[in-house]
C-alpha cells in the first residue's frame, strides 16, 4: 500500500467522522433532508476507506455500495443488517438531495443517524484489523483478533 493511499484512507475516515458530526448538527437545527444526506456520506466515506484499505477500487457511489454487499455482506464479514442500512441510507440521500416534493422526516433522519453510527462502528472494527490510526500507519493483526471482535463470520480475503 502506498503512502498516498494510506493518507487517503485516513482522510476518508476523518470525513466520515465529520459527516456524522454534521448529521447531528443538521438534525438538531431542523434540517432532516440534509441530515439524512450527511448520514449517508458518513457511511459512504467509511465504506470507501474500508475498500481502499483492502486494495479495492471503485468509481461511483453505486460501485461502493455494490462492493460492500458483494465483498462484506454476502460473505458474512458485515452483518446483513449493515448492508440493508447502507442501502437505506443511499435511498434517503436520494430523497434528501433530489426528492423534489418528497422529504425525509425528522424520525427517518434520526434513524439514519443511528444507522450511520452503527455502520461506522462495524467498519471501524474491520479497519482495526489493519491497525488504521490517525497517522495512516497500517499493521496487520491476527485473524483471531478480527473474529474475536465479532465482525466477520468468515476469514478475511
pLDDT value at residue 22: 97
Spell out the domains of the chain, with CATH numbers in brackets.
3-148 (1.20.120.330)
Mean pLDDT for the chain? 85
Residues 87, 80: contact at Cβ < 8 Å? no
pLDDT (tens digit per residue) in 34-67: 999 999 999 999 999 999 988 898 889 999 999 9
Give this prediction's pTM: 0.81
Residue 142 phi, psi (nearest 5): -70, 150
Taking residue 73's Cβ as centre, other Cβ atoms within 10 Å add up to 19
What is the Cα–Cα distance from 115 to 12, expressed in whole angstroms?
A: 18
Amino acid at each position: 500500500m502506498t503512502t498516498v493511499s494510506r493518507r487517503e484512507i485516513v482522510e476518508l475516515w476523518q470525513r466520515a467522522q465529520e459527516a456524522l458530526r454534521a448529521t447531528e448538527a443538521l438534525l438538531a437545527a431542523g434540517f432532516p433532508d440534509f441530515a439524512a444526506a450527511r448520514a449517508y456520506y458518513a457511511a459512504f466515506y467509511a465504506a470507501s476507506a474500508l475498500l481502499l484499505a483492502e486494495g479495492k477500487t471503485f468509481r461511483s457511489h453505486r460501485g461502493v455500495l455494490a462492493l460492500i454487499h458483494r465483498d462484506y455482506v454476502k460473505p458474512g464479514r458485515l452483518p446483513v443488517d449493515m448492508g440493508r442500512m447502507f442501502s437505506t441510507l443511499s435511498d434517503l440521500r436520494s430523497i434528501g438531495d433530489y426528492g423534489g416534493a418528497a422529504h425525509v422526516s425528522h424520525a427517518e433522519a434520526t434513524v439514519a443517524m443511528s444507522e450511520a453510527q452503527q455502520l461506522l462502528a462495524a467498519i471501524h472494527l474491520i479497519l482495526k484489523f489493519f491497525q488504521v490510526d490517525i497517522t495512516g500507519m497500517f499493521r496487520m493483526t491476527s485473524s483471531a483478533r478480527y473474529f474475536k471482535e465479532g465482525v466477520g463470520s468468515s476469514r478475511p480475503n
